[in-house]
């Protein structure tokens, strides 16, 4: 498995904030950073590189990402828990004693009942068809006693690792306590692999071997394959609210992709950079020059950037706002853009029609509001049809992009739905993922 720093930025900006006007708070930035797609990590070991003797009867600590959304104690989306099952099942089948660790939410001052992993342990047990005992803590004598008492094929879950501030600080003394009951470590949490925390990076200093699970390996291999060796023409769809949060993404994707579609609230900073009036739409004035630089870079590289030609505008940021469709160069004063218009969607379909690899990162509009969902669902349909009808590779990343695909009913038609967030952003920026770099080389 060749683990290469090549992926897309998968940010999780809430959809309803993607177009909301805000006061600018950033300085002018330039886009002179070099391409980051050439940085490579050495091949890392995965669970399949371990012999049965290395797993049978061994106490395995596996870092999963079960940071699921909850409504009280009810899990509203168990995708992350289900994604962890294949690796856990494999370890069980080899006779390992499996203990899952993860964080949930952002506890501030120690244990909070609303952030307990109890619901996650219960749901994992349902998926595995066996009891998953929740340990009362993530460290300590009681945890060790429960691990020691477990039998081959048993599955335990530690309580929320972030109930200790030392987790995120990667405190060595805490790390040693966390690792103490176990023999080896498996990291299967791509979404937190960019964090050098006790449960992602620190434990590798005490537990050997330390290897990747199926989910982590799949994400890295799939994204690497699509970006490094993806069939051309290659396109990227970059949505979201702010140029400031996507400048590194745009810079890197311009180097690698043939075509770029820009959508979301960031569109209006680009329109203003072209000298157009944008009404009360979201604009980062400090990034207007940056937007100009992006477009100039695209021209120099011979790359194509597509901005929307028509916009659905509203008189206020509200699900029940008055709306109208206007040309992108005719946004009236006092109105704000909240979605692409139908002409833009038609142009996007033509623009992408010959593409063999397409990456989507971010919605085109405030799709959580019925009046402003058509632009996002339209491009989701375009990608799904490209995959089904033409065999294109389509990668969906970012919380809002994934949510839009799920809501539209087309998620199953995409080539790959990534679980990554900030981890993929840092891959793209050329940063080493501590949780990956710390694993054993092949």
Nearest alpha carbon to residue 255 among 220, 287, 303: 303
Strand order across the beta sheet in which 259-262 lies? 304-306, 259-262, 234-238, 357-361, 393-397, 416-417
pLDDT of residue 398: 65
Is 242 known to be catalytic?
A: yes
Q: Of the residues 58, 59, 63, 80, which is catalytic?
A: 80
List the one residue out of 10, 431, 41, 100 whose CA is nearest residue 221. 41
CA-closest candidate to residue 424, choices 348, 362, 356, 357: 362
254 and 247 in contact (C-beta within 8 Å)? no
CA dist., res. 358 & res. 401, Å (int): 13
Catalytic residue (choose from 242, 246, 256, 259) = 242
Residue 1, token pair as written in the block: 């498995």
CA 283/CA 25 separation, integer angstroms: 11
3-state secondary structure the chain: CCCECCCCCCCCCCHHHCCCCCCCCCCCCCCCCCCCCCCECCCECEHHHCCHHHHCCCEEEEECCCCCCEECCEECCCHHHHHHHHHHHHHHHCCCEEEEECCCCCCCCCCCHHHCCHHHHHHHHHHHCCCEEECCCCCCHHHHHHHHHCCCCCEEECCCHHHCHHHHHCCHHHHHHHHCCCCEEEECCHHHCCCCCCCCCHHHHCCCCEEECHHHHHHHHHHHHHHHHCCCCEEEEECCCCHHHHHHHHHHHHHHCCEEEECCCCHHHHHHHCCCCCCCCCCCHHHHHHHHHHHHHHHHHCCEEECCCEEEEECCCCCCCCEEEEECCCCCCCCEEEEECHHHHHHHHHHHCCCCEEEEECCCCCCCCHHHCHHHHHHHHHHHHHHHHHCCEEEEECHHHHHHHHHHCCHHHCCEECCCCHHHHHHHCCCCCHHHHCCCEC
Q: How far apart are CA 439 and CA 413, in angstroms?
A: 33
Q: Is residue 129 flagged as an active site residue?
A: no
Measured CA angle at 325 (ends 322, 328), to 5 deg? 125
Return the structure tokens found at 289.
């020059």
**Pair type for strands 336-340 and 310-314:** antiparallel
Cα–Cα distances (Å) from 416 to 212, 261, 411, 422, 424, in that order, read 19, 19, 9, 17, 14
Predicted confidence at residue 8, as pLDDT, reads: 30
Q: What does each C-alpha distance from 173 to 149, 155, 168, 177 come to in angstroms? A: 25, 26, 13, 7
Distance of CA 322 to the CA centre of its chain: 33
Half-sphere exposure of 68 (CA within 13 A, CB side): 26
Q: In Å, how far from its chain's centre is CA 291?
A: 24
Q: Is 399 assigned a catalytic role? A: yes
Within 10 A of 372 (CB to CB), how many other CB atoms are there? 27
Tell me the pTM. Answer: 0.77
Q: Cβ atoms within 10 A of the Cβ of 154, count? A: 18
What are the tokens at 202? 């620190």
Look-up: residue for tokens 């919380």? 399
Q: Is 153 a catalytic residue?
A: no
Closest CA to 46 of 5, 92, 3, 96: 3
User: What pLDDT tens digit does each residue of the chain (442 aa) get?
Assistant: 333 333 333 333 333 444 554 333 222 323 333 333 333 344 799 999 999 999 999 999 999 999 988 899 999 888 889 999 999 999 999 999 999 999 999 999 899 999 999 999 999 999 999 999 999 999 999 999 999 999 999 999 999 999 999 999 999 999 999 999 999 999 999 889 989 999 999 999 999 999 999 999 888 877 766 767 789 999 999 988 888 888 877 888 888 899 999 999 999 999 999 999 999 999 999 999 999 999 999 999 999 999 999 999 999 999 999 999 999 999 999 999 999 999 999 999 999 999 999 988 889 999 989 999 999 999 999 999 999 999 999 988 766 888 889 889 999 999 988 877 677 667 656 678 899 999 999 8
CB-based contacts of 210, cutoff 8 Å, min separation 6: 184, 185, 186, 187, 203, 204, 438, 439, 440
Q: Which residues contact 6 (CB under 8 A, 6 or more apart)?
A: 37, 223, 224, 227, 228, 256, 427, 428
The active-site residue, picked from 118, 140, 225, 399, is 399
- Which residue in the list 2, 422, 430, 431 is annotated as catalytic? 422
């Amino acid at each position: 498995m060749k683990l290469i720093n090549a992926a897309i930025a998968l940010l999780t900006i809430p959809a309803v904030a993607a177009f909301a006007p805000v006061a600018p708070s950033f300085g002018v930035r330039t886009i002179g950073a070099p391409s980051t797609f050439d940085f490579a990590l050495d091949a890392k070991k995965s669970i399949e590189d371990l012999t049965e003797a290395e797993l049978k009867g061994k106490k395995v600590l596996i870092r999963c990402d079960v940071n699921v959304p909850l409504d009280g104690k009810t899990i509203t989306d168990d995708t992350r828990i289900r994604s962890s099952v294949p690796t856990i099942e494999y370890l069980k089948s080899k006779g390992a004693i499996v203990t899952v660790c993860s964080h949930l939410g952002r506890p501030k001052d120690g244990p909070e009942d609303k952030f307990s992993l109890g619901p996650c342990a219960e749901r994992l047990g349902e998926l595995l068809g066996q009891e998953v005992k929740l340990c009362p803590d993530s460290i300590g004598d009681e945890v060790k006693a429960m691990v020691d008492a477990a039998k081959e094929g048993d599955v335990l879950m530690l309580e929320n690792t972030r109930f200790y501030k030392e987790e995120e600080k990667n405190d060595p003394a805490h790390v040693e306590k966390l690792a103490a009951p176990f023999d080896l470590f498996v990291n299967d949490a791509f979404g937190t692999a960019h964090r050098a925390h006790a449960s992602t990076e620190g434990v590798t200093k005490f537990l050997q071997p330390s290897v990747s699970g199926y989910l982590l390996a799949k994400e890295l291999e799939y994204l690497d394959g699509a970006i490094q060796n993806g069939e051309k023409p290659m396109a990227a769809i970059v949505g979201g609210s702010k140029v400031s949060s996507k400048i590194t993404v745009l810079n890197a994707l311009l180097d690698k992709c043939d075509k770029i579609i820009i959508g979301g609230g960031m569109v209006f900073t680009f329109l203003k950079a072209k000298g157009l009036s944008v009404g009360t739409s979201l604009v980062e004035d400090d990034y207007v020059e940056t937007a100009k630089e992006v477009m100039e870079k695209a021209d120099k590289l011979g790359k194509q950037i597509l901005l929307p030609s028509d916009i659905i505008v509203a008189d206020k940021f509200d699900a029940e706002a008055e709306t109208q469709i206007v040309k992108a160069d005719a946004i009236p004063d006092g109105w704000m853009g909240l979605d692409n218009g139908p002409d833009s969607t038609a142009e996007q379909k033509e623009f992408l029609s010959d593409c063999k690899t397409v990456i989507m990162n971010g919605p085109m509009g405030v799709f959580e509001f019925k009046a402003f969902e058509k632009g996002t669902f339209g491009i989701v349909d375009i990608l799904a049809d490209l995959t089904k009808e033409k065999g294109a590779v389509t990668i969906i990343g970012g919380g809002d992009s994934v949510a839009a695909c799920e809501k539209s009913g087309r998620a199953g038609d995409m080539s790959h739905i990534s679980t990554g967030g900030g981890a993929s952003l840092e891959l793209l920026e050329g940063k080493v993922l501590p949780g990956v770099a710390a694993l054993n080389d092949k």
